[in-house]
Amino acid sequence: MKYLTVDFGSTFTKLTAIDTVQGAVAGTARAFTTIDTDVMTGFNHAMEQLENAIGAFHYDQLLCCSSAAGGLKMIAVGLVPDLTAKAAKMAASSAGAKVMKTYSFELSEKELTEIAAVNPDLVLLCGGTDGGNREVILTNARLLAAVDGNFSIIAAGNKSVDAELETIFKTAGKTFVITENVMPTFNQLNIEPARQAIRELFIRNIVAAKGLSKMQALCANAIIPTPLAVMTACELLSKGTRSRAGIGELVCIDLGGATTDVYSMAKGKPASGHVIPKGLPEPFSKRTVEGDLGMRYSLAALADALNMSDFSEETAIPQARIEAWIARCTAMPDIIAAPESEELFIEESLAKKAVELAVERHCGILESAYTPLGEILSITGKDLTEIPSLIGIGGAIINSKEPHKILEGALYSARKTGFMKPKAPRFYLDKTYIFAAMGLLSAIDEELALRILTDNLKPI
């Protein structure tokens, strides 16, 4: 059997040819994604490059994923910020969505205006434990039903209001799905039903909206969000299969043109017995996506997140020249910095900062409080300090001559001791960019996908 996987990214359409007889990747290729015209154009260009490199490739099955045109844009709405709102965001992110905004309590007029401006693909509506608060989720449902926009709604809150929610959404003519509560009882997560509902709505509605219907007709399986494919590969690499062990706990960083995604496959329990976990329990498989940290489409937002004066001092490059390069990249996303140039140094320094910020937002935060019994240390989120493996994914990392310098942004810092980032992991590189491809392949052949993943993981 021969498989061809396709990843329609924000910048590039990436192909991976897999030969099961050889048990290996036969070749890879990429071309600029043409989502604004016809995705088949970019696919055909990439296919031409692939066959120029390896010869004619007649595949038996085509497998696809996509994050093109902004991927799956979602809004998460919950009741309490640290509880159902966070649970909603976890469910959305783990399903491969790009969570644009998270809201809590009753939605305000300003927030409803923001939702309309974002024009999301999906809204995940949560609130209340089963049998608990009813008013907030019902009020938010009525408010969302009145918002202009062709978005679908997934309701995953208090089961006591399911019938009323159905009436509200049907009356408004909204596409909706009602599924199990993301937090049925206090501090108990149940995100898998919402995750599955998000995936099904992506397949049903988003593929057509993103112009991928032609590709779907050619595919053996449903097109899924690229981050979900990468998440699946990360889980496979970490846990392994029934017959082959994985590599254990890990962190993967996917630095792209529009977002920076961080995946941690880890329990995240405090490394010290003197630290008390705080807040919601963390899932073993966790993804966060930072929509303001990207190397092209979100580069201006990344710059806004930095202190540019300090960044200029760190790089010893005048701020005006840094800002000029950022402006050029924003205007021409396909621009590539020349080898050994000042622009390339700026680019890789910005990439390191994107990694640093993304991992800080993903990892647990250590805090101290003083009580009559003395100092108490608590952590909200995952303790990743003892993670043994850190894997770099994404063009800005894998195409760098010094990827380890970019990945160093993910490491624990004595200057920011509150962030529980990895202290001494081994660095690896997804040099051939096959994580998404192996996530797709694992749906058909887990053993082969794991073998190819481990064979292609390059220590640096």
Which residues neighbour 455 within 8 Å (Cβ) at sequence distance 6 or greater? Answer: 24
| Predicted confidence band of residue 434 (pLDDT cuts 50, 70, 90) | very high
- Out of 152, 171, 205, a domain closes at 205
Q: Are residues 220 and 287 in the same domain?
A: no
* Residue 414 belongs to a domain: yes
Q: Are residues 265 and 379 in the same domain?
A: yes
| Predicted confidence band of residue 440 (pLDDT cuts 50, 70, 90) | very high
> What is the side-by-side strand order in the sheet with 275-278?
275-278, 374-380, 365-371
* Residue 235 belongs to a domain: no
Which residues neighbour 354 within 8 Å (Cβ) at sequence distance 6 or greater? Answer: 255, 260, 290, 293, 294, 295, 302, 396, 409
| Predicted confidence band of residue 272 (pLDDT cuts 50, 70, 90) | confident
What pLDDT was estimated at residue 100?
86
**Tokens 């017959």 correspond to what residue?**
243
Q: Are residues 267 and 368 in the same domain?
A: yes
Q: Are residues 335 and 287 in the same domain?
A: yes
What pLDDT was estimated at residue 220?
79
Q: Are residues 197 and 293 in the same domain?
A: no
Q: Is pLDDT larger for residue 362 or for residue 199? A: 362
> Which of 123, 181, 178, 182 minimizes the C-alpha distance to 148?
123
Q: Are residues 447 and 364 in the same domain?
A: no
> Which of 165, 362, 164 minimizes the C-alpha distance to 266?
362
Q: Are residues 197 and 129 in the same domain?
A: yes
* Residue 244 belongs to a domain: no
Q: Is pLDDT larger for residue 425 or for residue 73? A: 425
Mean pLDDT within 301-312: 94
Assigned token pair, 328? 């050029």
What pLDDT was estimated at residue 296?
86
* Residue 240 belongs to a domain: no
What pLDDT was estimated at residue 195?
85
Residue 205 has pLDDT above 70, yes or no: no
Instruction: Find the CATH number of the domain harbouring 37.
Output: 3.30.420.300
* Residue 141 belongs to a domain: yes
What dihedral angle (degrees, nearest 10) is formed by the CA atoms of 234, 423, 87, 91? -10
State the residue range of the domain holding 449.
2-69+208-228+434-459
Assigned token pair, 125? 């509506």
Q: Is the dihedral of CA 335, 15, 358, 301 positive or negative?
A: positive
Instruction: Find the CATH number of the domain harbouring 171.
Output: 3.40.50.2300
Residue 289 has pLDDT above 90, yes or no: no
- Out of 190, 205, 220, a domain closes at 205
* Residue 241 belongs to a domain: no
Mean pLDDT of the chain: 91
pLDDT in tens, 393-432: 988 899 899 999 999 999 999 999 999 999 999 999 998 8
Contact, 148 vs 139, CB < 8 A?
no
Residue 209 has pLDDT above 60, yes or no: no
Q: Are residues 282 and 319 in the same domain?
A: yes
Residue 313 has pLDDT above 60, yes or no: yes
Q: Are residues 422 and 276 in the same domain?
A: yes
What pLDDT was estimated at residue 68?
67
CB-count burial class (<10 Å; 0-12, 13-18, 19+) for 214: exposed
Instruction: Find the CATH number of the domain harbouring 412.
Output: 3.30.420
Lowest average pLDDT, out of 241-245, 290-294, 364-368, goes to 290-294
Q: Are residues 310 and 423 in the same domain?
A: yes
Q: Write phi, then psi, for 355 (nearest 5 degrees).
A: -65, -45
* Residue 452 belongs to a domain: yes
Q: Are residues 109 and 213 in the same domain?
A: no
pLDDT in tens, 240-265: 999 999 999 999 999 988 889 999 99
* Residue 57 belongs to a domain: yes
> Which of 181, 176, 125, 188 minimizes the C-alpha distance to 158?
181
What pLDDT was estimated at residue 341?
95
| 261, β-bridge pairs | 254, 289
User: Measured between alpha carbons, how far is 244 from 247 in angstroms, rounded to an integer?
Assistant: 10
**Count: domains in the chain:** 3
| Predicted confidence band of residue 97 (pLDDT cuts 50, 70, 90) | confident
Mean pLDDT within 362-367: 95
Residue 71 has pLDDT above 80, yes or no: no
Q: Are residues 165 and 223 in the same domain?
A: no
